[in-house]
Amino acid sequence: MGRPMTALFRGVGITRRFRLPRRSLLEPVESLTALDNVSIEIPTGAKFGVVGESGSGKSTLARILLALDQPTEGEVYFDGRIISGASPGELGDLRRDVQVVLQDPRSSLNPRMRVFEIIAEPLRSLGVAGDERGRVLELLDAVGLSTASMDRYPHQFSGGQRQRIAIARALAPHPRAIIADEPVSALDVSVRAQILNLLQDLVRDFGLTLVMVSHDLSVIRYLCDYTAVMYNGEIVESGPSERVHENPTQDYTRRLLAAIPTMDGSLLERVRAVEGDDREGEHDET
């Protein structure tokens, strides 16, 4: 809308509260605030990283951007159209334009479907016309799997291969954006690098917008050009990745950066420097 830079996703004052189960009839209903007045703008074509620890609200944010969860307060726009509180009919092309890749490919693939059906499912569900078989073969090739994979079941593949299947499925309906929630956290080191490379190539080749949610700042830094740091349901710092990593303005970001183990073995020195001697066990409450 009239802005020079178009935001593919825009969130204004998103708050999400979950009702907790009552402990007893007499106690008042308690709620947990997973997201607290979060505003976010994800530019078209960006590689946008959201980093945070468990309980920071990053996965809730991902679900709200996918319109799989609704904010308690605030609005979410996709491509200028409001998607928060929208009925399935009002979501427009969101269901086709935004696809998701989750952390654990063991649980994100339907165990009762063969790979061919898994990848063709989004096409069928969305009613995408065209040569289904040709598209599946094309996708298998794009993610580096053999044609023969098509007739097998997910459990017959390794973790990395399964994540490739999940990525192929996400690409199937020609989406404009992919939301990836911890896509490499469940993978081994060598496979993690393979999948990061693959994501990198695919995002470039297909001109996708990537929203990457992770607990691992080094993965975000490697892949993303924007970084938003979340803590306790809020975005505490955001900006171009290089700026956030080189010149963090917030204490939490500094702590998070210091806490990442690096190959030069400087972790303990950095943590001691940032935290001083006064840090004790009570801080590790999450």
What residues numbered 125-164 form the site for another protein, per CB under 8 A? 125-126, 152-153, 155-156, 158-161
CB of 3 to another protein, least distance (A): 27
CB of 1 to another protein, least distance (A): 26
Residue 57 sits in the site that holds another protein (CB under 8 A): no
What residues numbered 173-202 form the site for another protein, per CB under 8 A? 173, 188-194, 196-197, 200-201
DSSP 88: G
Query: Strands 7-19, 177-181: parallel, antiparallel or unpaired by DSSP?
Result: unpaired
Q: Given the complex with another protein, which of 39 and 147 has the nearer CB atom? A: 147
Q: Given the complex with another protein, which of 4 and 87 has the nearer CB atom? A: 87
Give the C-alpha separation, 246 to 241, whole Å: 8
What residues numbered 227-286 form the site for another protein, per CB under 8 A? 255-256, 258-268, 271-272, 279-286
Question: Residue 78: which H helix or E strand, with range?
Answer: strand 73-78
- What torsion do the CA atoms of 248, 56, 266, 250 make, to the nearest 10 degrees? 20
CB of 279 to another protein, least distance (A): 7
120, 219, 235, 244: which one contacts another protein (CB under 8 A)? 219
What residues numbered 80-119 form the site for another protein, per CB under 8 A? 88, 95-96, 98-100, 102-104, 107-113
DSSP 224: -
How many residues make up the chain in this entry?
286
CB of 96 to another protein, least distance (A): 7
CB of 154 to another protein, least distance (A): 9
Q: Given the complex with another protein, which of 40 and 217 has the nearer CB atom? A: 217
188-203: burial string, b at 16+ Cβ within 10 Å, e else: eeebbebbbebbeebb
Which of these, 79, 82, 34, lies nearest to 56 by C-alpha position?
Answer: 34
What residues numbered 18-47 form the site for another protein, per CB under 8 A? none
Give the C-alpha separation, 180 to 104, whole Å: 11
